[in-house]
Amino acid sequence: MSEDRPSSACLQAHARRYAGAGDGPVLRLLLILITWLFLSIAVLLPLCVVFVEAFARGSDVFLSALVSRETLQALSLTLTVTALVVPANMIFGLSAAWALTKFEFPGKPVLLSLIDLPFAVSPVIAGYVLVLVFGSSGWLGPVLSELGVKVLFSTPGIVLATIFVTFPMVARPLIALMEDQGREEEETALSLGAGGLRTFLTVTLPNVRWALFYGGLLCAARSFGEFGAVSVVSGHIRGLTNTMPLHVEALYNDNRVAAAFAVASLLASFSLFTLILKFVLERKLPDDVREAERVR
Amino acid sequence: MKLELENVTRRFGPRSVVDHVSLEIASGQLVGILGPSGSGKTTLLRLIAGLESAYEGRVLFDGLDVSELPLRSRGVGLVFQQYALFRHMRVFENIAFGLRARSGKERLSGIEIRRRVSELIHLVQLEGLEDRFPRQLSGGQKQRVALARALAVEPRLLLLDEPFGALDAMVRRDLRRWLRSLHERTGRTTIFVTHDQEEALELADRVIVMNAGRVEQDADPDRIYDDPASSFVFEFIGEASRLPVQIRDGLVWFRDRLLTSPRVEAPDGPAVLHLRPEHVRWTEGEGSIDVSVIAGRRIGPHRRLGLEIPGGWGRLEMDTDAATPMRIGDQFRVEITGGRVYAPSKSRPLQ
C-alpha cells in the first residue's frame, strides 16, 4: 500500500513518526541497504546486461535482429496472443469476481481457491495438461483434428496456455476490491429503480474500472513474457509458432547471442513501459488504485 | 403507505433469523425496530425492502402482496449504515440517480431533474456541496446525501438501517432531531433499525423490540419504558438491577421484608425482581433494606450509586442528587418503590 508522500516541510515529522515505530536508525539504514543491494544484483544488473549485450555487436546487428522475418513473426504472434488473452481474461475476471462477491452459492470457497491454482501450479505442468487434453492421443485431440481444428503447435494452444497462466491476474484484484466494496451500492441502485444492466454499467463497472485496467496491464505483461506453458504447447516451429520469449531462446541456442539480447531488450522495454504505466496510473488516480492496492 | 407483515419467517439453515413476525404499520408512522445484534432486526428490514425473500409469510404494501416483487419494483427508499453512496459520482449525480433511471413516460427532462435535485439539496441542507465527491464529505453530510437520494424517487416507504451508527455522538443527536422534523414535514412512512434504545425511544412514534427473531414488544416509547412486556425488554431498555425474591400468596418477600410496591405476575416460589434506579429510594422507615455504597458515577444531573446488600444478597443501583456527599463504604437504608416480577413465560434474561 502506498503511503502519502510527505512534502519536504513535514519530512522531519514524518521521519520522527516512523523512527518511533520500534526500529533504531542503524537497523533502518541496514534494511534499506540490503534491499538496494539485493534489488541491484537480482534485478537492475541483469536488466542492464540485456541492453549492453544487445548493442555489443553494434546497432546494425541489433537492428537486423529486430527486423528479421522470424522476429517480426514472433512479435506479431505475441501481440496477437496478448490481444486475445487480455480481453478474454478481463471478461472472465470480471464475471468471476462479480459471481463470487455479489452472490451466495454452494461451492464458493472451492471456486475461490481454484482461481488461485495457476499461481500454485508450474506453468510447464499447465502446458503438459493441455497436451494431454488436446494432443493427438488426448481426450479432445482426435475429435478436434477430425473437425479440422488444430490446437496444439498453433495459435489456439498458445492462447489457451497463456489464459491459464494469467487468469488470476485480473480476477484476484477485482475479487479483493469488490469484496471490500460490498453489495450495498448495487442494492441501492436497484431500490432506486435501475435495472441490472444499468446498475452494472453505472455503479459496478465504474467502481472497479481502474482495478480492471490494472489487472489487464499485469495480464498483458505476463502474456508477453510467458515462457514455460507456451514452450510446451507451441512446438517451437520457427517463423510460425515461436513467441518472443521462445524466439529469444532459439536465437540463444543458435549462438546468436547479440540477436537474442536484441529481442530480449525489446521484451524488457515492454516490461519497463508497463512499469511506467503502472506508476503513472497510481499517481494519477491515487484514490481508486490505492484502494485496489490496499486490499490486494 | 400501510405496511403489513403476516407470519414472515426467514431461515438461514436450520436457524430462524426472523420467526413468524406479524406487524401492521399505518401510513405516516415513524417506527423504530430495536434489538441487540443477532435479534433479526436487519433481516426483517431487508425482508420488507425485498433484499431478502421470506421463507414463509407475506409482505403487503397497502393491502397488496409484494412478497414476489423484486427490490426495484417495490418503491422503497433505502439508507444503509455506511450510506453506500455511489463513490465515483458527485453529490448531484448521486441524488439524480433514481430520476435518471426512470424510463418511458415517467422520464424527466434534464431541466426537471435539475430542479428536483436542487429542491432535495435544499431539503437536506447541502447547498454548495453539489459538486463534491462522497469521499470529500463528512459522515453527517453523507448521511443526508443518502437520504436525499432515497427521497428523490418518492418512495412509498423509507427504510433506514442503523442510520446513525457510524456517526459521533454530537452529529448523531443533531441528525436525529433533523430526521424527526423531516419526517414531520414529509409524513412518509419510515422504518429504522437500531440497537440504541435511547435513539429508538427519542426518534420513533412506535418501537418494536426484537429478540431472537421474534417481536418482544410493540408499543409507543412511553409504554416500552414504563411497562416493559418482558424481563428482556426491561433489561434492554434502560438500567436494570435484579434481586432474588420469594413470592408467597401473591406478595413479594425479600428475605424477611415484605415489598408492597412491585407488580407481581409470577406464581408462588422463588422469583426475580427487576428494578430501575428510580425504584430505589433512601429511607429511615419500616421494611427497609440495609445497603452500602460500592460505586458512584455521574449521569447527567444525577449521581448513580452502586449499592451492595451486605451478606451477598445482591446489588442495586439508585440515583441521588449530585450535590449529596457520598463515599464508597457509606451505609444507609433504602426502600423499594417499584419494580416488576415477571411470569416465568416472560422471563427471558438479556444474554
pLDDT digits (tens, 9 = 90+) for A61-99: 888 888 999 999 999 999 999 999 999 999 999 999 998
What is the side-by-side strand order in the sheet with B3-12? Answer: B15-25, B3-12, B56-61, B64-65
Q: Which CATH number fits domain A58-295: 3.30.70.260, 1.10.3720.10, 3.30.910.20, 3.40.50.620?
A: 1.10.3720.10
Q: What is the pLDDT of residues B46-70, one digit of tens each?
A: 999 999 888 899 999 999 999 889 8
Residues of B within 8 A of A198 (CB-CB) are: 101
* Residue B71 Cα, gap to closest chain A Cα (Å): 6
* Residue B151 Cα, gap to closest chain A Cα (Å): 9
Query: pLDDT > 90: what percent of chain B?
Result: 66
* Residue B203 Cα, gap to closest chain A Cα (Å): 24
pLDDT value, residue B322? 85
Mean pLDDT confidence for B40-49: 94
Q: What is the pLDDT of residues A265-290, one digit of tens each?
A: 999 999 889 888 888 776 655 455 45
Average pLDDT of chain A, as a whole number:
84
* Distance of alpha carbon B291 from alpha carbon B282, whole angstroms: 10
Residues of A with CB under 8 A from a CB of B: 182, 184-185, 187-195, 198, 202-203, 206-207, 287
First to last CA, chain B: 36
Average pLDDT of chain B, as a whole number:
91
Q: Say if residues B240 and B276 touch (Cβ distance below 8 Å).
A: yes
Question: Which of B51, B101, B135 minimises the CB distance to A193?
Answer: B101
* DSSP per residue, chain A: -PPPPPPGGGHHHHHHHHHTTS--HHHHHHHHHHHHHHHIIIIIHHHHHHHHHHTTTHHHHHHHHHHSHHHHHHHHHHHHHHHHHHHHHHHHHHHHHHHHHH---TTHHHHHHHHTHHHHS-HHHHHHHHHHHHSTTSSSHHHHHHTT---TTSHHHHHHHHHHHHHHHHHHHHHHHHHHH-SHHHHHHHHTT--HHHHIIIIIHHHHHHHHHHHHHHHHHHHHH--HHHHHHH---TTTT--HHHHHHHHHHTT-HHHHHHHHHHHHHHHHHHHHHHHHHHHHSHHHHHHHHHH-
Q: Say if residues B289 and B257 touch (Cβ distance below 8 Å).
A: yes
Indicate if the pLDDT at residue B230 is higher than 60. Answer: yes
Tell me if chain A has a CB within 8 Å of the CB of B97.
yes
Task: Tell if the CB–CB gap between A190 and B149 is shorter than 8 Å.
Answer: no
Indicate if the pLDDT at residue A4 is higher than 50. Answer: no
Count of CB contacts below 8 A, A vs B?
A: 62
* Distance of alpha carbon A209 from alpha carbon A203, whole angstroms: 10
* Residue B155 Cα, gap to closest chain A Cα (Å): 9
Task: Tell if the CB–CB gap between A187 and B102 is shorter than 8 Å.
Answer: no
**Which region among A133-142, B130-139, B194-203 has the lowest average model confidence (pLDDT)?**
A133-142
Q: How many CA atoms lie within 13 A of B280 on its CB side?
A: 28
* Distance of alpha carbon B283 from alpha carbon B293, whole angstroms: 15
| Fold entry, domain B239-341 | OB fold (Dihydrolipoamide Acetyltransferase, E2P) (2.40.50)
Residue A56: pLDDT band (50, 70, 90) is confident
* Distance of alpha carbon A249 from alpha carbon B168, whole angstroms: 63
Task: Tell if the CB–CB gap between B97 and A198 is shorter than 8 Å.
Answer: no
A287, closest residue in chain B (CA to CA): B135
User: Grid coordinates representing A188?
Assistant: 441501492
A166 or A291: which leads in pLDDT: A166
pLDDT value, residue B168? 85
Residues of B within 8 A of A182 (CB-CB) are: 82, 84
pLDDT value, residue A2? 40
Residue B205: pLDDT band (50, 70, 90) is very high
pLDDT value, residue B143? 92
Look up cell 467502481; give the residue: A207
Residue B261: pLDDT band (50, 70, 90) is confident
Mean pLDDT confidence for B1-23: 92
B105 or B265: which leads in pLDDT: B265
Tell me if chain A has a CB within 8 Å of the CB of B149.
yes
Residue B349: pLDDT band (50, 70, 90) is low
Task: Tell if the CB–CB gap between A203 and B80 is shorter than 8 Å.
Answer: no
pLDDT value, residue A120? 87
Domain residue ranges of chain B, discontinuous segments joined by +: 3-234, 239-341
Please give the biggest Cα pair distance in chain A. 72
Residue A295: pLDDT band (50, 70, 90) is very low
Tell me if chain A has a CB within 8 Å of the CB of B86.
yes
Instruction: Give the type of residue at B222.
Output: D
β strands within B35-128, DSSP E: 56-61, 64-65, 76-79
Mutate: best of A104, A183, A184, A188, partner B, most B CBs <10 A? A188
pLDDT value, residue A6? 42
* Distance of alpha carbon B43 from alpha carbon B59, whole angstroms: 13
Residue A291: pLDDT band (50, 70, 90) is low
pLDDT value, residue B186? 85
In chain B, residues 121-140 whose CB comes closer than 8 Å to chain A: 135
Question: Which of A187, A191, A198 minimises the CB distance to B77?
Answer: A191
Question: Which of B72, B78, B150 minimises the CB distance to A194?
Answer: B72
pLDDT value, residue B260? 85
B154, closest residue in chain A (CA to CA): A192
Residue B350: pLDDT band (50, 70, 90) is low
Phi and psi (nearest 5°) for A238? -60, 140
B104 or B303: which leads in pLDDT: B303
Q: Say if residues A100 and A123 touch (Cβ distance below 8 Å).
A: no
pLDDT value, residue A5? 43
CATH class of B3-234: alpha beta
β strands within A123-201, DSSP E: none
Domain residue ranges of chain A, discontinuous segments joined by +: 1-54, 58-295
* Distance of alpha carbon A1 from alpha carbon A290, whole angstroms: 7
Q: What is the pLDDT of residues A6-54, one digit of tens each?
A: 444 445 555 555 555 556 888 889 999 999 999 999 989 999 999 998 8
Indicate if the pLDDT at residue B335 is higher than 60. Answer: yes
